[in-house]
Amino acid sequence: MWIGLLASAQVLVPSQIEVIDPARKEWALGVVTAAGALAAVISAPLVGILSDRTQWRFGKRRSWIVGGSALCVAALLALPMQSSIVGVALCWILVHGGVGGIHAVVCAVVADRVAVNRRGTVFGVVDLAQPVGLVAGTLLVSNLPVEAAYPLVAVLVGLFALPYALVGRDVPGAARDTGRWLPDLAALGPDFAWAWTGRFAAQLATSLATIYLLYFLRDEIRMDDPVQGVAVLSLLFTAGIVVAGLLAGRLSDRLQRRKPFVITAALLMAVALSGMALISNWTVAVIAAAVLGAGYGAYLAVDQALVTQLLRNGGDRGKDLGTMNMAGSGAVVLAPVIAVGSVGHGGYTLLFMLAAGMAVLSGLLIQPIKSVS
């Protein structure tokens, strides 16, 4: 799932858009990115709700993971055939919408099957799929034309979905039907609302930092091979996520504390983003990528565990975690709008400073949560 989404988002879609409309590449990329993220905002809670209520013998969660993967494969295969921004946007809506649904269901699987005192560790492992998918996908496509790269990642999405399709199993239980289909933050309580807004701010920070990474390396740092630069920074970002995510998740399980880890991770992200804002050179970018990855990895692992402890009704896990995932997708919708204006008025310095501010805010918003320490 992450190979298909992130390799395309970091390299393939920006490169394709630059060929289609080089004069308005930033604007066009922002529109396409926002459209895809909006699809994920809708699909995450919708697929979560449907998985809660599904009674097919194939599996209430597994059915939607397989279906979402098939949708992503079809859309990725169609992308290289597009010669207009509208065509790219329509395909990207299907890719990102499919990923939004899959991610909501995967989070629900963990909440279904893992005890509370092990969720930090397990989410630390599960969340490794995102950075590994980013790095593996970016390295695979960095030297390929889009005509060959899109089919490659599409095949990998389908191939790696097969193990879960064949052997994945769901926790037995009756399908849930409360009659409530719309996300309801008020019903989930103020702690869930604080966690939702914190997740939104954290994802907005990382989205602002990465949406124009290819263009930043090409236009600001003036790298001869910005695609290769994206691959290197992605590798360092991943290394930070892997190490910090596993360590923070496991330590938070042992201490049974969540909030201090999430707040510290947010501040670590802010330090990295501030460095990129103040000094625009390759050395700082390399260091910042590793530090940002460490902060983001720790945030992902522990915040996911924290959120599962806020759920009030186990039968609505798919819907509630889909609602939480709307925060991340919603931030991705807003990020291009902010990024276009920031780069246009204050350059990349303003863009990264705004990202740093969002990272600090994401930590502050976790502090009022009372039901989880």
Strands (E), the chain: none
pLDDT in tens, 332-361: 778 878 887 888 778 889 999 999 999 999
Tell which wins on pLDDT, 23 or 264: 264
Q: Which of 72-81, 199-208, 302-311 has the highest mean pLDDT?
A: 72-81
- Write down the pLDDT at residue 313: 63
Domains of the chain: 2-167+186-364 (1.20.1250.20)
Buried (b) or exposed (e) across 279-304, using 16+ Cβ within 10 A? ebeeebbeebbbbbbbbbbbbbbbbb
Residue 162 reports pLDDT greater than 80: yes
pLDDT in tens, 48-102: 888 888 777 777 788 888 999 999 999 999 999 999 999 999 999 999 999 989 9
pLDDT band per the 50, 70, 90 thresholds, residue 372: confident
Residue 118 reports pLDDT greater than 70: yes
- Write down the pLDDT at residue 328: 79
- Write down the pLDDT at residue 96: 93
Task: Give Cβ neighbours of residue 347 (< 8 Å, ≥ 6 apart).
Answer: 220
Mean of per-residue pLDDT scores for the chain: 86
Nearest-angstrom CA–CA distance, 36 and 68: 14
Nearest-angstrom CA–CA distance, 340 and 258: 35
For the segment 260-279, the average pLDDT, to the nearest whole number, is 94
- Write down the pLDDT at residue 343: 81
* Whether the Cβ atoms of residue 69 and residue 101 lie closer than 8 Å to each other: no
For the segment 295-312, the average pLDDT, to the nearest whole number, is 86
